Chain A
Amino acid sequence: MVAPMTHEELEESVPLYAAGALDRIERQALEAHLLSGCTSCHSALKNYQSIAALLPLSLNPILPPRSLKAAIIAGRNPAPIPAEAAPGEPARQSLEPGEWMDHLFPPVAPARSSSLPWVLGLGTLLIVAVGGYVAWNLSTQRSIATANIHQLEASLKEKAANLAEVQREVSNQASALTDLRNQLQQRTTEAADAKEQLLQREGELEEMRVELSQRGNTRTAEIPQDELATLLRIPNAKAVSLTGSDMAKQAAGFLLYDARTKKAWLYSINLPECPNGTIYQLWAISNKPISVGTFDMAPGETAHLLVKKVPRFLDAKTFAVSLEPSSGSPQPTGPMYLLSRS
Chain B
Amino acid sequence: MIDPTLLTRVVKGDQQAFSQLYDHSSTLLFTLAVRILGNHEEAAELLQDVYLEVWRKVSRYDVGRGTPIAWLITLTKSRAIDRLRARSSRGNQATNALEDGTAPPVADSGPSPLETQADEELRVAVKAAVAGLPLAQQQAIEFAYYEGLSYAEIAARLNQPMGTVKTRIKLGMSKLRDGLQQWGNHGGSNDA
**Majority secondary structure, A binding face:** loop
Is A77 at the interface (CB under 8 A from chain B)?
yes
Given A94-B65, A111-B87: A53 touches B73 (CB 8 Å cut-off):
yes
Contact B65 A57 (CB under 8 A): no
For A98, the chain B residues whose CB sits under 8 A away are 61, 65-66, 70-75
Q: Does A228 contact B (CB under 8 A)?
A: no
Residues on A with beta carbons closer than 8 Å to the beta carbon of B87: 111
User: Shortest distance in angstroms between A52's beta carbon and chain B's nearest beta carbon?
Assistant: 7
Number of B interface residues at 8 Å Cβ cutoff, please give it: 100
In the assembled complex, the CB of B62 is this many whole angstroms from the nearest CB of chain A, namely 7
Asked whether A15 and B174 contact (CB < 8 A) given A20-B148, A62-B27, A80-B59, the answer is: yes
Contact B151 A60 (CB under 8 A): no
Cβ of A47 under 8 Å from chain B? yes
A79 at interface by CB-CB < 8 Å: yes
Contact between A79 and B31 (Cβ–Cβ < 8 Å)?
no
Q: Is A243 an interface residue (CB 8 A)?
A: no
The answer to whether A114 and B86 touch (CB under 8 A), given A80-B59, A92-B60, is: no
A19 to B169, Cβ gap below 8 A?
yes
A16 touches B144 (CB 8 A): yes
Q: Are B188 and A61 in contact (CB under 8 A)?
A: no
Check: A315 CB closer than 8 A to any chain B CB: no
Known: A19-B173, A51-B176, A52-B145. A76 touches B52 (CB 8 A): yes
List chain B residues, Cβ under 8 A from A72: 22, 47-48, 51-52, 55
Asked whether any CB of chain B lies closer than 8 Å to the CB of A234, the reply is no
A277 at the interface (CB under 8 A from B): no
Query: A28–B18 Cα gap in the complex (Å)?
Result: 34
* Contact present for A12 and B107 (CB under 8 Å): no
Determine the chain A residues whose CB is within 8 A of the CB of B81 once the complex forms: 20
A2 within 8 A of B: no
Task: Write the nearest CB–CB distance from B191 to chain A, whole angstroms.
Answer: 8
| Bound-complex Cα distance A20 to B141 (A) | 8
Give Cα A107–Cα B85 distance, bound, in whole angstroms. 12
User: Using Cβ atoms and an 8 Å threshold, which residues of chain B touch A94?
Assistant: 65
Interface size of A as a range = 35 or more
Q: Does A59 belong to the interface (CB within 8 Å)?
A: yes
Question: Which A residues lie within 8 Å of B72 (CB)?
Answer: 98
CB-contacts of A8-58 with B (<8 A): 12, 15-16, 18-23, 26, 47-58
Contact of B107 among A49, A62, A76 (CB under 8 A): A62
The residue that B65 contacts in the complex, of A52, A82, A96, with Cβ under 8 A, is A96
Find out whether the CB atom of B10 lies under 8 angstroms from the CB atom of A100: no
Instruction: Given the known inter-chain contacts A56-B35, A63-B27, please indicate yes or no for A50 contacting B184, CB distance below 8 A.
Output: yes
Inter-subunit contact B187/A62 (CB<8 Å): no
Q: When the two chains form the complex, which single residue of A52, A69, A110 contacts B85, counting CB atoms closer than 8 Å?
A: A110
B100 to chain A, nearest CB (A): 17
Judged by DSSP, the binding face of B is helix
Shortest Cβ gap from B71 to chain A (Å): 4
Given contacts A21-B154, A61-B31, A99 and B40 within 8 Å (CB-CB): no
The yes or no answer to A299 lying at the interface (CB within 8 A) is no
CB nearest neighbor in B for A55: B145
A97 touches B107 (CB 8 A): no
| Contacting pair B69 A53 (CB below 8 A) | yes
A56 contacts B73, C-beta separation under 8 Å:
yes
A57 with B150: CB separation less than 8 A:
no
Known: A16-B166, A76-B52, A99-B71. A65 touches B44 (CB 8 A): yes
Instruction: Verify B27–A64 contact, CB threshold 8 A.
Output: yes
B32 contacts A56, CB within 8 Å?
A: yes
Complexed CA–CA distance, A100 and B151 (Å):
18
Q: Say whether B26 contacts A64, CB under 8 Å.
A: yes
Q: A22-B151, A62-B107, A80-B11 are in contact. Are A68 and B44 (CB under 8 A)?
A: yes
A86 at the interface (CB under 8 A from B): yes
The answer to the question of A4 belonging to the interface, with a C-beta cut-off of 8 Å to chain B, is no
Q: Which residue of A23, A51, A65, A69 contacts B19 across the interface (Cβ within 8 Å)?
A: A69
A47–B70 Cα gap in the complex (Å)? Answer: 12
A112 interface residue per 8 A CB criterion: yes
CA distance A16 to B130 in the complex (A): 16
Interface flag for A1 (CB, 8 Å): no
Top 9 closest pairs, chain A to chain B, by CB: A97-B66, A111-B86, A110-B82, A63-B108, A21-B144, A98-B71, A15-B173, A98-B74, A53-B70
Could you list which residues of chain B lie within 8 angstroms of chain A, going by C-beta atoms? 10-11, 13, 15, 18-19, 22-23, 26-28, 30-32, 34-35, 40, 43-49, 51-52, 55-62, 65-67, 69-75, 77-79, 81-83, 85-87, 90, 103-104, 106-112, 122-123, 126-127, 129-131, 140-141, 143-145, 148-154, 165-166, 169-170, 172-174, 176-177, 180-181, 183-185, 187-188, 191-192
Supply 6 A–B pairs (Cβ within 8 Å), ascending by A: A15-B169, A18-B173, A60-B109, A80-B57, A111-B82, A116-B45
